Structure 1
Amino acid sequence: METKRLTEPRQGKEPEEAKRSAGAFPRIISVDDHTVEPPTVWRDRLPSKYHDTGPRIVRAPLKEMTFVGGKFAPTMGSPGDDGPIADWWVYEDLRRPLTRLDTAVGYSRDEIRLEGITYEQMRPGSYSVPERLADMDVNHVQSALCFPTFPRFCGQTFTEAKDRELGLLGVRAYNDWMVEEWCGPAAGGRLIPLTLVPLWDAELAAEEVRRNAARGVRAVCFSEIPPHLGLPSIHTDYWDPFLRACDETGTVIAMHIGSSSKMPSTSADAPPAVGSTITFANCCFSMTDWLMSGTFDRFPDLKIMYAEGQIGWIPYILERADVVWEENRAWGGVADKVLRPPSELFAGHVHGCFFDDAFGLKNLDAIGVGNVLYETDYPHSDSTWPKSRQVAEAQMSHLAPDVVERIVRGNAIELLGLTGEGLWGPSAPTR
């Protein structure tokens, strides 16, 4: 049976009804979308000796796949085995299929299941720049910052690899593709680069930040909770070279839910719906870590953002953190390094990102207008595409136009160093 899709235009133009209702609503700058990397990203950029061990696509049956207790477990079949066919990323010992959850837009909610897919079965905007721009037009989106898929949200795939030389080449190859192709001239400045670093070496990470900052990149992926990846915490000085590079180059540290490779859950047998409800929890834990680490006093220009964490939980955490800092700092281990109230540190350094959070918007005064960014999460199953503008209009109807402007695009322009028109400078058309 043919899968039913939501109906929408494919030529990059909004329907007339949408145009009439859009009015003066500002064009969206989404700070959390995703790209599904084309099959040849690494084969085109790695030395030939790595073509059999570097990341590559193999088409094979999917024998089994589960996602329970926050853990994703697929099993790859051999040619001739029974089972649905999927495109798999193969890298050293890793076998990772493309799934419907990677690219779900265009399907009704009831048809989005945990299943393997091929490139032909996904929406072309997932991996094609022209098609992505067209889908952005449909959704009233001007510009978008995109997180990776195969490398995972902060490059965990390369961090876990055995061959460090190949892992570093893999990180750099992804960044070159991101800057030169995904966000290249064909994107007209509308796709904003977000790069990776080799997390296993803070000095190499700093070098990669500076290499990319020199070509206009102003955002880098990082893990929300590094110890979950077997890495030092933010409470150590291990990350100082990386943090200093970000501080000095104006590079924003972007942390996506799940960038610790450990999605929150309550038990090993909890269904995915449990984890999906509490995805903000990792952001909550992570932000508390950063606020109590002393990092922002040591690196006064550092900025961080939490993608897909929503914002409604932030006011209470700030309230509680301030109480702890004021009343418990003598024995709480922060008296000599956290020199200002956590809520003050938040205001100057932290941004929360959301795509559907009416409660958070009702409590915007307790968060701060300048600390909130909007996103659409294209092409994931949670995405509000193709109705992100309508969702925003409904949830922001009580806000003044200048506040809406800041949330939907102004804050992103300032944070990411975009042009006044909301475009990424190096790729923006010459005027």
Structure 2
Amino acid sequence: MTRTVQRLIDCDVHNAVPSDTALSPYLSARWRRHLELVGSRTYSPFTKGYAYPKAAKFASRHDAWPLSGALPGSDLEFMREQLLDAYPIDYAVLNCLYRAAEQRNDLYGAALARAVNEWQVEHWLERDPRLRASITVPFESPALAAAEIDRAAAHPGFVQVLLFPRTRQPLGRRHYWPIYEAAGRAGLPVGIHAASTTPGPITPAGWPSYYIEDHTALSVAFQAQVISLIMEGVFDRFPELRVVLLEGGFAWIPSMRWRLDALYARLHEEVPDLEHPPSYYLRHRIRSTTQPMEEPEHPADLVPLLQEIGEDVLMFSTDYPHWDFDNPHRAFQTAVPPDLRTRIMNDNAREYYRFTP
């Protein structure tokens, strides 16, 4: 009997700008000079990159460093060898976490965002038909971000707009609405990917002692943003808006949905303009990637959780080349019905991103 190969869509792959100077060809003379003489000044406390875990430099797998010594995720040929050709991947969505959105000089941040997007087109999208990418935007300057969405979305390789969950204000606030309007014009979802841009503590209760605290608490930032987007009425105001939660976990979705609906039943007078209960937006307007996987002790318990979340909500991701990479050959193998696994590994992303076969 011939074994059917499960085709994959990987919704979270990280390509890396190899160095700041790699963006110079895509910057105007003014901003090239700024890069050379001033450089990056960000709101993030991690001025030289993410500080930990030390055991996984650049948060990457030990084997993800190309022999050339280039950064993990910066070498397309090496990515082909380790990911694109190693698994039956139809599409891989690139999420470049370069720090354009963290710049204190918002015009420089906008110039960097444009440079990153043009670099992605030349070095990635035009070199492998399996690749798609997120548009990097200076999202703390929404008018500039909207202009970049309008410009970059003309290239068919861009399939979403990239934001981070630790922002200076909750993402539902009016401040960010120009981004959602522009994403709607472009017909693109907004992806919110785990990262930090703020100068304040990266947990709601202050600075943690350990990386494991920060890594676990990432899901709290995502929950806060989802609640903000729903309660501020963003989904009603922008009916074309679709949101993808990238690397934020997913096991918390049912409990938050239940809690929000219960509170909405009692406190709906505070938000009388919502057209639906909160659970509607979580079910119909928001999708989530699978990595990091939250697996119960008993594998059979995973299926009821997936069904409670919604069989069309989860979309597979590996998080390549990061240390907590999820191997596609091992994901959702135990107890998950084949039709549900196919939805998670391929069909859900194909429908949500509107990929062609």
TM-score, with normalisation over the residues of structure 1? 0.71
For 1:370, what is the secondary structure of its paired residue?
Answer: coil
Q: CA deviation at 1:358?
A: 2.6
Shift of 1:222: 1.5
Q: Quick one: distance in 1 between partners of 2:275 and 2:36?
A: 45
Partner of 1:42: 23
Matched residues in 1 for 2:322 and 2:119: separation? 21
Q: Does 1:329 align with 2:268?
A: yes
Query: Any residues of structure 2 matched to 1:190-339 within 5 Å, and which?
Result: 190-216=130-156, 217-227=158-168, 232-261=169-198, 263-264=202-203, 267-268=206-207, 270-330=209-269, 333-335=270-272, 337-339=273-275
Correspondence for 1:131: 78
Identity, in percent, stands at 22
Q: Is the 8 A contact 1:193 1:218 kept in 2?
A: yes
Q: 2:348 aligns with which of 408, 411, 428?
A: 411
User: What's the secondary structure of 2:289's corresponding residue?
Assistant: strand
Where does structure 1 lack aligned partners over 5 or more consecutive residues?
1-19, 57-89, 109-116, 421-431
Give the direction of change, closer, same or farther, for the CA distance of 1:351–1:269 in structure 2 (3 Å limit): closer
Residue 53 of structure 1 is matched in structure 2 by 34
Number of paired residues?
A: 338
Contact 1:103–1:123 at 8 Å: present in 2 too? no
The superposition leaves residues 259-303 of structure 1 with CA deviations (integer Å, 9 ceiling, x where unpaired) of 454533755352112222332111112111112121111111210
Structure 2 counterparts to residues 70-149 of structure 1, below 5 A: 91-93=39-41, 95-96=47-48, 100-102=56-58, 104-107=60-63, 120-121=68-69, 126-136=73-83, 137-149=85-97
For 2:316 and 2:284, how far apart are their aligned partners in 1?
18
Q: Secondary structure at the match of 1:102?
A: helix
Aligned-partner SS, 1:366 = helix
Code of the residue aligned with 1:241 in structure 2: it is: P
> How far did residue 121 of structure 1 move?
3.8
Q: 1:218 to 1:134 in 2, by over 3 A?
A: same
* Letter in structure 2 aligned against 1:26: Q
Distance in 1 between the 2:242 and 2:147 partners? 18
SS in structure 2 of the partner of residue 369 of structure 1: coil
Letter in 2 for 1:419: T
Residue type of the partner of 1:315?
A: P
Listed one character per residue, the Cα deviations across residues 345-389 of structure 1 (whole Å, up to 9, x for unaligned) are 1121101111222346541121111111111011111112xxx12
Q: Which has the larger radius of gyration?
A: 1
Asked whether the 8 Å contact 2:12–2:93 carries over to 1, the reply is yes
Match of 1:29 in 2: 9
TM-score, normalization by structure 2? 0.84
Within 2, Cα distance between the matches of 1:201 and 1:171? 12
1:91 and 1:150, CA in 2 relative to 1: closer, same or farther beyond 3 A?
A: farther
CA contact (8 A) 1:283 1:309 kept: yes
Instruction: Give the Cα separation in 1 of the matches to 2:41 and 2:95.
Output: 23
Matching residue of 2:286: 350
Contact 2:172–2:225 (CA under 8 A) maintained in structure 1: no
Please name the residue that 1:70 is paired with. Answer: none
Distance 1:177 1:408 in 2: 29
Unaligned 5+ segments in structure 2 are 297-301
Write the letter of the residue equivalent to 1:44: P
Deviation at 1:139, TM superposition (A): 4.2
- Work out whether 1:367 is the aligned partner of 2:309: yes
Question: Which structure shows the higher helix fraction?
Answer: 2
C-alpha distance in structure 1 between counterparts of 2:306 and 2:132, whole Å: 26
Deviates more, 1:195-204 or 1:288-297: 195-204
Q: 2:321 aligns with which of 379, 389, 397?
A: 379
Question: For the Cα contact (< 8 Å) 1:312–1:363, is it kept in 2?
Answer: yes
> Which is strand-richer, 1 or 2?
1
Partner of 2:276: 340
Q: Partners of 1:37 and 1:47 in 2: how far apart?
A: 18
CA contact (8 A) 1:41 1:173 kept: no
CA contact (8 A) 2:208 2:214 kept: no
Q: Is the 8 A contact 2:31 2:111 kept in 1?
A: no
Give 2:299's aligned residue: none
